[in-house]
A and B are shown apart, each in its own frame.
Chain A
Amino acid sequence: EDKVVQSPLSLVVHEGDTVTLNCSYEVTNFRSLLWYKQEKKAPTFLFMLTSSGIEKKSGRLSSILDKKELFSILNITATQTGDSAVYLCAVYQGAQKLVFGQGTRLTINP
């Protein structure tokens, strides 16, 4: 069975801390891995990763993929209260199939 597992499920840190969110996967056909941020409603796209070892970066957020060990991490440095959200990891398998993880609920306290 295809699965995407995120850890931790919940994380509470103080503003200014650095956090690392994990996503591991076991799927039959891997094309790419995507990260989304979900605040109150719709998930919004953050990164798409297709190649191992190449870091994607956007401001304080960065992500990297390891296709040998089947995982990805999402790093957020110098966290702000606006980073509080649920972060979703998903694997695209082709044929319109996206398999999502359960999400990590990140809370940043001032």
Chain B
Amino acid sequence: NAGVTQTPKFRVLKTGQSMTLLCAQDMNHEYMYWYRQDPGMGLRLIHYSVGEGTTAKGEVPDGYNVSRLKKQNFLLGLESAAPSQTSVYFCASGEAMEQYFGPGTRLTVT
């Protein structure tokens, strides 16, 4: 039982490049979430999903897109990366009040 896994662990992008972060969970949770964590600002919700085929915007959705084609996977895409998207990205799954987090992806945009 791996819980919540994220790939990749680290990535460096140049401004304007695109990439996809993958989150996978093996706990059969309906709900999945993407957060970003910046120094001094805590965790902020980017997008979330309440089930396969559904997505919704969180607090800071601009510049990101998501897809939930399979229940166990939640993808976060950056179409045209910007330096302001340099952050640590966490995926989580579970019920809203009890979320289980993945190990994070550290993304640097130069």
Secondary structure of the B side of the interface? strand
**A96 close to B (CB within 8 Å):** yes
Residues of B32-49 at the interface with A, using a CB-CB cut-off of 8 Å, are: 33, 40-45, 48
**A31 close to B (CB within 8 Å):** yes
**Shortest distance between the CB of A107 and any CB in chain B (Å):** 16
Contact with B along A39-59 (1 / 0, CB 8 A): 001111100100000000000
Secondary structure of the A side of the interface? strand
In the docked arrangement, what's the CA distance between A92 and B98, Å?
10
A102-B41 CB under 8 A given contacts A42-B90, A42-B103 = yes
Complex contacts, A88 vs chain B, CB 8 Å: 42-43
Given contacts A41-B103, A43-B101, A102-B40, 17 further A-B contacts (CB under 8 A): A4-B42, A9-B40, A34-B98, A42-B102, A42-B104, A44-B101, A48-B97, A88-B43, A92-B96, A96-B31, A96-B45, A96-B48, A96-B96, A97-B59, A98-B96, A100-B42, A102-B41
Compute the total of residue contacts between A and B using a CB distance below 8 Å: 53
Contact with A along B69-110 (1 / 0, CB 8 A): 000000000000000000000100000111111111000000
Select B42's contact among A34, A42, A101, beta carbons within 8 Å: A101
A96-B44 CB under 8 A given contacts A42-B103, A45-B99 = no
**Shortest distance between the CB of B13 and any CB in chain A (Å):** 21
Which of B4, B42, B48, B98: most chain A Cβ within 10 A?
Answer: B42
Residues of A9-65 at the interface with B, using a CB-CB cut-off of 8 Å, are: 9, 31-32, 34, 41-45, 48
